């Protein structure tokens, strides 16, 4: 489903060059549940932004569902982001003046679906995360955990092939974090492919595979034996 080969991402800052990613090869199969870990500045968010087509590599190839993303223009990339990728961020990124329902329906506006259909799909997505009873609330009328659930519902509303979460529990207390991870566990069990960036071992322990980056390179890629009973070859 996802294949990265020889990925490099360089940032030029004046006469200094930052190698945010320095030769990354990575395969992520359908319905994997992967944690991306590593110290601050190691390249996790950079890798996430590439996976989510928010950014393009300086070098290397990214194949998403068989298509080389380098061949896509900005319009096509925006469409891939809208259809194939669901994003969840640490700080929720909800629109403060829109209701929960409208926040979740928002990504569907670009699909040209009629309003009633957008509403139906948004309600369905909110029910999936246990918030079918908060449709008309504004984000600031919700708890942090509920806000993150709304963000997950929004990420899922377009049925993306890949759910990407960058430190999704970074702003939550430990109990609420566990609830959000239980939701990810459930989505994965229902067939969703999930990639979570985290630096918390407790969060990574939910995932079936852990990829560690350091200095822009993958330094470890292992299956979490306590979370899987199938050999990795079957997941691919």
Burial class (CB in 10 A: 0-12, 13-18, 19+), 197: buried
Find the binder of ligand ATP among 2, 24, 34, 44 (CB under 6 A): 44
The site string for ligand ATP over 174-203 (x = CB under 6 A, - otherwise) reads -------------------------x----
Minimum CB distance to ligand ATP smaller for 11 or for 110: 11
Q: What angle do CA 46, 52, 54 make, to 5 degrees?
A: 70
41 vs 132, beta carbon nearer Mg ion: 41
104 versus 197: smaller Cβ distance to ligand ATP: 197
What, of Mg ion, ligand ATP, none, does residue 160 touch, CB below 5 to 8 Å by kind? none
Strand order in the sheet with 85-89: 85-89, 162-166, 193-197, 33-37, 209-214, 217-223
Show contacts with Mg ion in window 19-38 (CB under 5 A): none
DSSP state at residue 141: G
Question: Stretches 34-42, 70-78, 80-88, 117-125: which one binds ligand ATP (CB under 6 A)?
Answer: 34-42
Residue of 128, 55, 143, 133 lying closest to 94 (CA atoms): 143
Q: ∠ CA 142-185-144 to the nearest 5 degrees?
A: 15
8 A C-beta contact, residue 184 and residue 31: no
**If binding is defined by CB under 5 A, does position 45 make contact with Mg ion?**
yes
| CB nearer Mg ion, residue 69 or residue 198 | 198
Residues at the site binding ligand ATP, with contacts judged by CB under 6 A: 11, 13, 18, 20, 38, 40-46, 199
């Amino acid at each position: 489903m996802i294949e990265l080969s020889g990925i490099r991402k360089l940032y030029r800052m004046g006469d200094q060059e930052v190698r945010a990613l320095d030769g990354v090869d990575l395969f992520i199969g359908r319905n994997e549940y992967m944690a991306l870990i590593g110290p601050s500045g190691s390249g996790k968010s950079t890798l996430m932004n590439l996976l989510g087509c928010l950014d393009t590599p300086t070098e290397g190839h990214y194949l998403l569902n068989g298509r080389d993303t380098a061949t896509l223009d900005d319009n096509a990339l925006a469409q891939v982001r809208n259809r194939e990728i669901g994003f969840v961020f640490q700080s929720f990124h909800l629109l403060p003046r829109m209701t929960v329902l409208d926040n979740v329906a928002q990504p569907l506006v670009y699909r040209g679906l009629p309003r009633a259909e957008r509403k139906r799909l948004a309600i369905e997505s909110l029910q999936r995360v246990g918030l079918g009873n908060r449709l008309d609330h504004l984000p600031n009328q919700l708890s942090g955990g509920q806000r993150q659930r709304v963000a997950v519902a929004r990420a899922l509303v377009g049925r993306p092939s890949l759910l990407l979460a960058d430190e999704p529990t970074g702003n939550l207390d430990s109990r609420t974090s566990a609830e959000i991870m239980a939701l990810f566990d459930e989505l994965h069990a229902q067939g969703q492919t999930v990639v979570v960036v985290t630096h918390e071992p407790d969060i990574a322990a939910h995932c079936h595979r852990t990829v560690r980056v350091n200095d822009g390179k993958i330094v470890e890629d292992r299956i979490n034996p306590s979370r899987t009973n199938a050999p990795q070859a079957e997941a691919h």
